[in-house]
Each structure stands twice: as structure tokens, then as C-alpha cells.
Structure 1
Amino acid sequence: MPFELEVCIDNIESLSTAIAAGATRIELCSSLALGGLTPSFGFMQQAAKQSTVPIYAMIRPRQGDFLFSPQEFDLMLADINAAQEAGLSGIVIGALTASGEIDTKNCRNLIKAALGMGVTFHRAFDLCKEPTTALEEIINLGCERILTSGLAPTAEAGSEVLKQLNELAKGRISLMAGAGVNQSNVKGIIQQSGITEVHLSGKGFRNSLMTFNSSNAKMGADEVDDSQIPVTQHQAVANVKAVLDSLS
């Protein structure tokens, strides 16, 4: 049984690393530390030129909840157009109503704007009020897959719910396990849930290549170390790929 290994990245340096380590699809983001936001147009263009695997762009205009304003949906539509122009394979979307239901009207408009691109519904699903109802609505929207932790903090903790959702889906949509997936737990998640797609960042850090470092200013929050560059770690992804290969 073939498995899909999606790796989310937020910088161009990580693209070749993720692919070399065995990624079969890339989720392109900015700001993974915030859960992933829309990547820049330039990032989309360059990634599309360099990648040998499909790339899906996160379409999320800000951090926080998934209740978006009309102005934010306009931004999302423009970003979908940018993803198309860049030549990406798909988009990753998700939107909820104030009452925790799938915002089917606006999601349908986003999907329509994608004009045949692949569509993943992201972990906004994990914040919905009625997951079984949401599952059917997302299937009816025509999405290819749902990225989910099984409504738990991690996919490992949500593996039983992942199993239940996968059984309810009956092959009409793919469930992709994400949140805390790694070498030590991916086998158990798959065996418990029966899913065939997993998602991870494999993120670590490398040291800055600067030979001069000023201590007078910081570019972000106090806890952020500007001398540490967050990048995908080849071994973290390769280790998960090896487990998936052993199960195929």
C-alpha cells in the first residue's frame, strides 16, 4: 500500500531537503510557528520551478481563528489566483462560521476560484462543532483530503477518532494525519487509524551563517533567537519515510 508523505515548509531552503528526504507532496506556507500562513508569490513561483513533487499553497491570511471577514476572503481569492499563476498543484483552505460549522458558502467560492486545482481542507476541521457533519460537508465540497489530528492536540492522541472518521469517509475523501507525527509514532497512528497519508514539518534549526552578530536589536518576540534559522531536518523526514516504506 503506497503512503503519501506531505511535508510543510516555510522557506525555500527546506524545499530540496524535504524532497530529498522522501516527501511526496509539499505544503507551502509562511510562518509555520503560527500554524502556517499564505506564502509569498515569489516563494510560490520559485518553489514551483524547483520542485519535482506537487505543491499545495496554504491559503490563510492571518493567525488565529478561522472565522474570516469579507475582506479576508477577498485576500484569499487573490492568493488563490497567485497560486494558479505560479503553477502550483493545489491549495489548502479552511473556514468556519461563528458557531463552529463549516463555512460551506465561502469555501465553495474559494474552491471555484481554484479552477480545478487540488484542494485540501486544513485543520480548521479540528475546531468544528460536529465533525461527522463537517466531514460530509467537506466531501460534498469536493475536497481531496482533510488534514486532521482527529480533533486532538496530536494525531497520536486522536488516532481512534481518525479511525472513526476514516471509516465514515468510506473512501470518498482521504484523511491525512497531522500534528506531532514523527518516527516514533507514525506506525502506530497508521495501524490504529487505517489512514494512508501523513503530514509533518520535520522542523529543526541551523545556526546563522552571519560572521557578525549584533546584540543590540531583535527582529521578533523576545523568545525568538535570530541566530537560529528554522529549517526542515532531512533525517526527521527520512526516518518517517523509512517507516512508511516498511509498511508499504
Structure 2
Amino acid sequence: MTKLEVSCYGVDCAVTAQQAGADRVELCSAPSEGGLTPSAGTLKAALERVSIPVHPIVRPRAGDFCYSAAEFASMKSDVAFIRDLGFPGVVIGMLDEDAHIDRVKMREIMALCGDMAVTFHRAFDLSHSPKRALEELTELGVARILTSGQQQSAESGIALLKELTQLSEGPIIMAGAGVRLSNLQKFLDNGIQELHSSAGRMVPSPMRYRKAGVSMCSGNETDEFSRYCVDSDVVEAMKGVMQMNNSVRVA
């Protein structure tokens, strides 16, 4: 049974994803940074309003995945907080200086997680050797690996995604990065069991007044009066394709 995980940058988007039929939500903040740890208030609201599994990401900053002692301490605190709130899973990942899985830190994380399912995120795509990384993450006991097949987009990395899926004796290989309705069938045809998509669109701000010459961002091209939100029609359409694919397999 194939599953669709939707990355959501806020609780309203998570509710939309749920209503449209998503199987799971990856909850993040800071879309322009590639997804960072959501706030305590967001985490608590998600538990109150969303009934499908919600897996918060734990990522203290943008950039690479080789963390300092102080950063790692904050990550452990966040993991413990998420665990104690009662979330069923968490999304996390870290590499050492040579771009291998940081097994020492990950062992500490796995011990902290308790019964939570652990998704090792796209830090995998920056790792030195994907097959070695798969072996190490299997030994660590992670539930799934979110990956683009070590390419800029999952569609470009589909050959490695298929190979990893066939090799894996433990973690589910979940394709992510550029997974959309238009290429969804390619992943299903290659045996990918879980797909990760933002399934969204840009939505304009409800603000009518726009202050000229003042910006809260350093990037000149950033539009502060629009935001990325989950599109319920896209989620429904993607789930429809996946359900049809499941029905064909059963038949």
C-alpha cells in the first residue's frame, strides 16, 4: 500500500492535507530554509487539530548537517520534547565531517526517541556513499529514509531510489524533492512505496496595505506578501492516482 506524506509549514496546511486524504504530515517551519524545527505552539496545535500521523522535523538551522555540540544539545532537547508531547514520529538526520552518517550522535537520538518512528531526512542525499549510509541506518533502526536519490530532484534520482528500495532490509525508501502529480506514476512504476510532496501553491497575503521600501528579509527577490500552502486539490489528485495503482496491484 503506497502512502503519501505531505510537508506542511504550519498547522492550517496540515489540516488541509489531512482533509484531502494525506496519509502523514511532515511538520516544519521556515520553507525558505528548507524546513526547520517547528515552534512549541505549532507542535501543540498540531496535536489538537490533526488526527493523522504528524512527524515534526528537528533541524536547528539551514545549511549542512554536520552539527556542533551546542546544536546537537538543542536537537536532543527538541526530540525529547516532541516525544513527551506524544508524537508518533520525528524527522532528523546528521552527518560527520566526512559526510558519513554520524553514528555516535544518531545512536543517542535513537535512544531518546523511544517508540517514535525515525525518518532520516535528506541529509542522506549529501552522504558520501548511499549504500554504506543505508547499511548504517538499517543497523541504527530508522523507520524510513527520505531521499531524492542523491540528485537535485527525485525524478532525476529514480534509478538509485529503485535500487535502494530493492536493497533495503529495513528502512522504507521514501522519495522526496520534486515529487508532484505530473511525475507521480513514474515512482509508482518503479516500486517506490512512500512519496513525499509539498503538493502546494503560492497563496497571496490577505493584507491590502503594502509598505513600500521596508523588508523583513535580506533577499531582495523574496515576496513577503505570499506564502506556500498545501493545495487540497493536488493532494486529492495524487491520492487518487495512488489508490488506483493499489487497486490494479490487488486485482
TM-score, length-scaled by structure 2: 0.94
| Offset, 1:201 | 0.7
- 4+ residue segments displaced more than 3 Å: none
SS in 2 for 1:166: helix
CA distance in 2, matches of 1:187, 1:233: 19
Is 1:196 the counterpart of 2:193? The answer is yes
**What is the CA deviation profile of residues 63-118 of structure 1, one whole-angstrom value per residue up to 9, with x for unaligned ones?**
00000011111010111122123321111111001111100110110111112211
On the 8 A contact 1:93/1:107 being kept in 2, the answer is no
Contact 1:92-1:119 within 8 A present in 2 as well: yes
Aligned residue pairs total: 245
Q: CA RMSD in A?
A: 1.2
Partner of 1:132, secondary structure, is helix
TM-score, normalised to structure 1's length?
Answer: 0.95
1:217 maps onto 2:209 in alignment: no
3-state SS in 1 of match to 2:234: helix
The 3-state SS of whatever aligns with 1:187 is helix
Q: Match of 1:39? A: 38
- The aligned counterpart of 1:146 is 145
Q: What is the identity, as a one-letter code, of the residue corresponding to 1:44?
A: L
CA deviations over 1:100-153 (Å, ceiling 9, x no partner): 110011011011111221100001111111111110100111100000111111
* Equivalence map 1:168-179=2 (5 Å): 168-170=167-169, 172-179=170-177
1:229 CA displacement: 2.4
Does the CA-based 8 Å contact 1:126-1:151 persist in structure 2? Answer: yes
Q: How far did residue 46 of structure 1 move?
A: 0.4
Query: Per-residue CA shift, 1:4-58, capped at 9, x if unaligned?
Result: 1100111122111111121111101111222111111111110011111011110
Q: What runs of 5+ residues in structure 2 fail to find an aligned partner? A: 247-251
1:96 is paired with a residue of what secondary structure?
coil
Please list, as runs of the form range in 1=range in 2, the aligned pairs for 1:1-248 lying within 5 A after superposition. 2-170=1-169, 172-192=170-190, 194-220=191-217, 221-248=219-246
Deviates more, 1:211-220 or 1:4-13: 211-220
Separation of aligned partners in 2, 1:133 and 1:163: 16
The whole-number CA distance in structure 2 between the counterparts of 1:49 and 1:239 is: 27
Contact conserved, 1:59 with 1:91, CA < 8 A, in 2? yes
In structure 1, how many angstroms separate the alpha carbons of the residues matched to 2:239 and 2:31?
21
Q: Give aligned-pair identity as a percent.
A: 38
